[in-house]
């Protein structure tokens, strides 16, 4: 069965006045075909869909994408395509490609060998299809979120003073993989004390002490789909008297935004629901990043939920809500949930509690 998404893409290809389309971005390849290999390209025409890849993946294509043709292209699929243009019915064709996924060096190589076609750059044709999730995609995302919830709940029980950031990050990875994750969504962020003021801190050998702020941002991949969650807490009574003020501010900003966003809300407006609260409290300069982002096959994908975009957030998108305040040299706080966008508001998918003080 050819998926509805592939047929919708064919309509877009036709609307762009293209004869064929190359898909090289990894998540887009998987979304359209089911093929999860790390190398290759999809070649889509009006009546054919072909996977060009190397010998590492010939059997895998048959298993994951049985309704796609396999082109045994070896390690030089552009050269293979150039030699077989006539067989694909693409002599002097107009072929589109994903400009955002192709380096200048790769494009120059394509242009050198594909001299009998016109290469035409496009942007966002497949990503636009991926934004609103199908029922099957939501099932996988819910599994990934549930596993991340269990992992965070485990850390709430397991963490003790004296443990290092690296130890906690490793414990999370072992737990999630043992419970069925195929990978991490991204390199886990575990930060203690002043390191929590770094929004994307890298785990170090710093040990957590009673009174330290701890920030944990993590997620996992289940059935190809990602989760993403952040929790911030003080291990024992906070040493910094400002912690509870900041934590409650971020908690409130998260809750207000989550209650206000629905399908059709612009990214700019969604971001403002949280940002205006933080600004009003005098901490606007300490919330530098956007409110959130889409999550799916990639942990960061469309739609943006940010002051940098005025696009409307569509029904069926899965997004994060993650306001934060970061006081350089002291501490930071971020609280992040994943949510499904519906006509009537957000369905919060993340279930693990937000805890301000974790007593030990």
Burial 117-128 (b: 16+ CB within 10 A, else e): bebeebeebbbe
Nearest to 12 by CA among 48, 35, 46: 46
Beta bridge partners of 43: 22, 50
Task: Please report, in tens digits, the pLDDT of each residue of the chain (360 residues total).
Answer: 468 999 999 999 999 999 999 999 999 999 999 999 999 999 999 999 999 999 999 999 999 999 999 999 999 999 999 999 999 999 999 999 999 999 999 999 999 999 999 999 999 999 999 999 999 999 999 999 999 999 999 999 999 999 999 999 999 999 999 999 999 999 999 999 999 999 999 999 999 999 999 999 999 999 999 999 999 999 999 999 999 999 999 999 999 999 999 999 999 999 999 999 999 999 999 999 999 999 999 999 999 999 999 999 999 999 999 999 999 999 999 999 999 999 999 999 999 999 999 999
Strands (E), 86-196: 94-98, 118-122, 183-184, 189-192
Do 214 and 300 belong together in one domain?
yes
Whether 284 and 306 map to the same domain: the answer is: yes
Measure the N-to-C terminal CA separation of the chain; round to a whole number of Å.
55
CATH, residue 335: 3.90.230.10
- Whether 30 contacts 41, CB under 8 Å: no
In which domain, by residue range, is 25 found? Answer: 4-130
Residues 108 and 139 placed together within one structural domain of the fold:
no
Which CATH number do you get for residue 51?
3.40.350.10
CA distance 257 to 269: 9
Rounded-to-integer distance, Cα 50 and Cα 73, Å: 11
Token pair for residue 214? Answer: 């701890």
Q: Which of 81, 109, 130 is the last residue of a domain?
A: 130
The CA-based angle 144-149-155, given to 5 degrees, is 130
In the block, tokens 């501010």 appear at 249
How many domains is the chain built from?
2
Six-digit token pair at 78? 């552009």
Q: Are residues 242 and 291 in the same domain?
A: yes
The pTM of this model reads 0.96
Q: Which backbone phi and psi does 199 adopt, to 5 degrees?
A: -55, -35
Of 130, 157, 190, the domain-final residue? 130
Q: Are 212 and 172 in contact (CB under 8 A)?
A: no
194 and 124 assigned to the same domain: no
**H runs (alpha helix) in the chain:** 4-15, 26-33, 58-64, 77-83, 104-113, 127-130, 135-158, 165-178, 243-260, 267-280
Q: How far apart are CA 20 and CA 45, in angstroms?
A: 4
Judge if 108 and 147 occupy the same domain: no
């Amino acid at each position: 069965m050819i998926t509805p998404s592939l047929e919708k893409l064919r309509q877009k290809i036709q609307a762009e006045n293209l004869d064929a389309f190359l898909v090289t971005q990894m998540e887009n390849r998987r979304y359209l075909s089911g093929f999860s290999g790390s190398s290759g390209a999809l070649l889509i025409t009006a009546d054919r869909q072909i996977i060009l890849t190397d010998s590492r993946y010939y059997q895998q294509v048959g298993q994951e994408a049985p309704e796609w043709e396999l082109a045994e292209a070896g390690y030089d699929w552009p050269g293979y395509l150039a030699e077989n243009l006539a067989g694909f019915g693409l002599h002097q064709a107009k072929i589109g490609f994903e400009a955002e996924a192709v380096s200048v060096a790769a494009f120059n190589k394509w242009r050198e060998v594909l001299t009998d076609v016109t290469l035409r750059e496009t942007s966002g044709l497949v990503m636009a299809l991926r934004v609103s999730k199908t029922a099957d995609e939501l099932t996988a995302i819910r599994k990934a979120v549930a596993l991340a919830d269990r992992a965070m709940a485990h850390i709430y029980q397991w963490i003790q003073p004296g443990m290092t950031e690296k130890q906690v990050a490793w414990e999370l990875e072992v737990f999630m993989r043992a419970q069925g994750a195929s990978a991490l969504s991204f390199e886990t962020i575990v930060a203690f004390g002043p390191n929590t003021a770094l929004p994307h801190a890298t785990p170090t050998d710093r040990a957590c002490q009673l009174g330290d702020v701890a920030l944990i941002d993590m997620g996992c991949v289940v059935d190809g789909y990602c989760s993403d969650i952040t929790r911030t807490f003080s291990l024992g009574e906070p040493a910094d008297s400002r912690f509870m003020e900041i934590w409650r501010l971020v908690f409130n900003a998260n809750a207000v935004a989550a209650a206000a966003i629905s399908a059709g809300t612009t990214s700019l407006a969604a971001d403002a629901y949280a940002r205006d609260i933080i600004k009003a409290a005098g901490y606007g300069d300490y919330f530098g990043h956007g409110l959130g982002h889409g999550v799916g096959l990639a942990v960061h994908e469309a739609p943006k939920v940010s002051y940098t975009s005025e696009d409307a957030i569509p029904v069926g998108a899965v997004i994060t809500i993650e306001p934060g305040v970061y006081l350089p040299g002291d501490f930071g706080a971020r609280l992040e949930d994943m949510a499904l966008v519906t006509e009537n508001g957000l369905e919060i998918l993340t279930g693990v509690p937000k805890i301000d003080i974790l007593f030990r």
